[in-house]
């Protein structure tokens, strides 16, 4: 029971459209988070920013030995500091806009 090539092409087109929508959703989500963290206001080369994001992704994937975020105790202490930094940068940028 082989599928005709036209059916396979239709399935590929549908999957490509689904992929495009999923990538758009992911990009919007990450973009919103980056803006709340204040990255929109930083003058940085795109290549440098991409390298920083790659390091961050590696860290959360567990690519670095001893990476923060893999152990329970250091997880909460690091996460809290990041939340506090995010809150303060969000508060200061909101105050500057008002």
Rounded-to-integer distance, Cα 9 and Cα 74, Å:
49
CA 94 to chain centre: 22
Name the pTM for this structure: 0.54
DSSP for 62-84, please give it: T-STT-TTSSHHHHHHHHHHHHH
pLDDT-based confidence at 78, cuts 50/70/90? Answer: very low
The per-residue pLDDT for range 14-62, each reduced to its tens digit, is: 999 999 999 999 999 999 999 999 999 999 999 999 999 999 999 999 8
Q: Reduced to 3 states, what is the DSSP secondary structure of residue 55? A: helix
- CB count within 10 Å of CB 22 equals 10
CA 26 to chain centre: 7
Predicted local confidence at residue 16, as pLDDT: 98
């Amino acid at each position: 029971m082989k599928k005709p090539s036209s059916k396979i092409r239709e399935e590929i087109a549908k999957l490509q459209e689904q992929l495009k929508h999923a990538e758009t959703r992911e990009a919007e989500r990450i973009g919103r988070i980056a803006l709340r963290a204040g990255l929109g206001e930083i003058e940085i080369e795109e290549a440098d920013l991409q390298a920083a994001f790659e390091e961050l992704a590696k860290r959360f994937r567990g690519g670095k030995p001893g990476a923060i975020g893999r152990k329970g105790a250091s997880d909460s202490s690091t996460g809290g500091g990041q939340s506090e930094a995010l809150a303060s940068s969000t508060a200061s940028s909101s105050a500057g806009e008002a």
